[in-house]
A = this chain, B = another copy of it.
């Protein structure tokens, strides 16, 4: 039972030092899913997922969320305080 944790997405779709593609792939295999499984479960085209996992693409929020849902992840917006 380990706690939830966060991954920051930077401007290039990377997360900390990991790429979004790596996160998706790691999480997918952690869940013992093939690309085909995940694509089907998420309702995303297989070709789309494949492209994403090799680092190509700029997914729509919808696509990202469909995948995140199946992968047990959640897309968040962190709102920072405003310094005055």
A→B interface (CB under 8 Å): 1-11, 13, 15, 20, 23, 27, 30-31, 58-62, 64-66, 68-69, 72-82
Contacts and interface: CB of A to CB of B under 8 A. Distances in A.
A45 B3 CA distance: 40
Given A8-B74, A74-B8, A76-B8, A13 B62 contact: yes
A59 B62 CA distance: 8
A77 B15 contact: yes
B78 A3 contact: no
A9 to B, nearest CB: 5
Contacts of A1: 81
Contact of A74 (B30, B60, B73, B78): B78
